[in-house]
Amino acid sequence: MENKMDSIQKDVAILADNFITDKDKKNFVIYKGQKFEADIAYIEIYHKQRNQSMLWMII
């Protein structure tokens, strides 16, 4: 059991190292299956929602 936990912790550490480096510590999200800066992803989501809301107002 302890070996399995060590293996999982090692895998998580590798994942963390590949996901964010020290030079680009920013807020990231997974959006459309890829790593995005949170601000960029949220702006795109907001614009999509806004456009859909405007369509409902027209109809």
Note every long-range contact of 4-12, with CB atoms under 8 Å and residues 24 or more positions apart, other chains counting: none
HSE toward the beta carbon, residue 31, CA cutoff 13 A: 13
Q: Please tell me the distance from the alpha carbon of residue 17 to that of residue 34, in angstroms, as a whole number.
A: 16
Q: What is the pLDDT of residue 22?
A: 63
Q: What is the pLDDT of residue 20?
A: 63
Q: What is the pLDDT of residue 13?
A: 84
All structural domains of the chain with their residue ranges: 2-58
Q: What is the pLDDT of residue 54?
A: 57
> pTM of this prediction?
0.35
Read off the pLDDT of residues 8-58 as tens digits, 9 standing for 90 and up.
888 888 877 776 666 666 677 777 787 777 777 788 888 887 777 655 555
Q: Please tell me the distance from the alpha carbon of residue 51 to that of residue 56, in angstroms, as a whole number.
A: 9
SS3 content of the chain, % helix, strand, coil (to 5): 70, 15, 15
